[in-house]
Amino acid sequence: MQNFVDEIEQRTPAGIAAAIGRLIASGHLAPGDRLPTVRVLAAELGVSPATISHAWQALAGVGLIVSRGRGGTFVQDAAPKWLPARSQSMIGAVGSVRLDLSRGTPDPLLLPALGPALSRVAQRAVTPSYQDLPIIPELLETLRSDWPYAVESITVVDGALDAISRSLDAVTRFGDRVIVEDPSFPPFFDLLDQLGLERLPVAIDEHGIIPSDFAAALKLGPAVVLMQPRAQNPTGASMTAERAEELARLLQTTPASADTIVIEDDHSAEISIAPDVSLGRWLPKRTLHVRSFSKSHGPDLRMAALGGPTALVNPIVSRRMLGPGWTSRMLQTILHDLLTNGESMAQVSEARRIYFARQKALADALNNVGLEVRQADGINTWLPVHDERDAVVSLAAAGIRVAGGRPFSGAEASRSFIRITAGALTGDVRAIAQALALAAGTPSSEVPSLGTRWA
């Protein structure tokens, strides 16, 4: 107990929670270890039981400890084993919190209403043949008219990760190298690891992959470049056409990357404020472009369009016919309705405007309290902090849940970050910005500008 108490320097709820968090992170407290009772620890520290209770609530709020009633309070066990490794570390906490900014999911109130679209779907799930084209013609026409470049083939799959997984299966072999943004979406790292692919993390800035780092990685002969052209998760960066052209030129002129395939995850296309951009404009024969509708129209639609050269798309469609076959044509009909109905289109347009306003409000408020940030695109903001664990725990003590940055790093991170789902913010954000600034724990002169690289 005494060693336990000695680690607690600040005897406030946030200070106690941060100290316990460090003990858990360092392994001095292991999953399943029982913690002292509130009254015993309060007596040892000379504080009120309420102070300990608030600290315990903060730790429970970020998933580090769990109360078992009269059985005591324990360090939380590992995340469910059915989750991939990075997803286990991302799962964070369950339960109520005053403000949850950790999820990276769209505001459900900003998704278009499904009722009208559902009312227009046929009452019977009819498909004339198992060998029909996997995408309904009217949806294909709509997607093709809005694609960022002239594309040969488009199909529909069950979400962006399904598209990326199937693309990687089709164009890589065990041991191949894959360029991936750093930081990036944690399930990408899990997917590459499970497929036995070597990750080549490349730093990004507010305009996307940094060309000099990209050029160095291309010399290693990667099979694939996996990238997010807009509203990059977690940073909210969007690639410019100038940056895309420069990256395409490097792919064209680097001998070791003559056969490299580009896989683009445009997961926030309908709610991004940035212009549509794709390396497919310059490399149409080497680009697989994924357009997801989860952020804009609803995660449970589980639908994404995958477009590229016929030589790459057809094998993916063929292999899929030996599994799920096709994405439900009823769901495709609903998506087509949402993409073409005036009222639904207006709702998505309004959501894009609101997300823009929320990101701007947060960026302005953070700059006003001394944190130099650029406004992010989409729904996420990437904030540098002095210590990730301390920031997450101190914010939890204030009733705010955020995502720690470590799972998003493709290499050993030299700095700490947290990801904030700015798209979930409503109302006046000045108090939240103040809490984030306090949690960052670094003088403003030392906070790296979001105009610099994020690796």
DSSP readout, 194-242? Answer: HTTPEEEEEEEETTEE-HHHHHHHHTT--SEEEE--SS-TTT-----HH
Residue 205 is inside which H or E element, if any? strand 198-205
Map out the domains of the chain with their CATH numbers: 2-75 (1.10.10.10), 85-109+344-446 (3.90.1150.10), 130-340 (3.40.640.10)
Using N-to-C axis directions, what is the helix angle for 430-440 and 388-397, rounded to 10°?
Answer: 140
Please state the rounded mean pLDDT for residues 224-234. 97
Specify whether the backbone of 250 is left (phi greater than 0), alpha (psi in -120 to 50) or beta.
alpha
* Confidence (pLDDT) at 366: 96
Tell how far CA 144 is from the center of its chain. 26
91 pLDDT more than 80? no
Q: What percent of the chain has pLDDT over 90?
A: 63
pLDDT class of 444 with cuts at 50, 70, 90: very low
pLDDT class of 79 with cuts at 50, 70, 90: low
Backbone angles phi, psi at 298, to 5 degrees: 130, 125
65 by DSSP, 3-state: which?
A: strand
User: Helical H runs in 300-447?
Assistant: 310-320, 329-340, 342-368, 388-397, 430-440
Please state the rounded mean pLDDT for residues 434-446. 71
85 pLDDT more than 70? no
Residue 162 is inside which H or E element, if any? helix 160-171
Q: What is the pLDDT of residues 36-54, one digit of tens each?
A: 999 889 888 889 998 888 8
* Confidence (pLDDT) at 69: 77
- Please state whether the peptide bond connecting residue 183 to the residue before it is cis, i.e. omega within 30 degrees of 0: yes
Tell me how far apart the alpha carbons of residues 425 and 360 are, in angstroms, rounded to a whole number: 11
451 pLDDT more than 90? no
Task: Please answer whether residues 29 and 389 qualify as being in contact, where contact means their C-beta atoms are separated by less than 8 angstroms.
Answer: no
Closest CA to 168 of 222, 221, 210: 222
pLDDT class of 196 with cuts at 50, 70, 90: very high
pLDDT class of 98 with cuts at 50, 70, 90: confident
Higher pLDDT among residues 351 and 67, named by residue: 351
Confidence (pTM): 0.82
Please state the rounded mean pLDDT for residues 184-195. 93
- Give the mean pLDDT of the chain: 88
Q: What is the pLDDT of residues 114-127, one digit of tens each?
A: 888 888 777 666 67
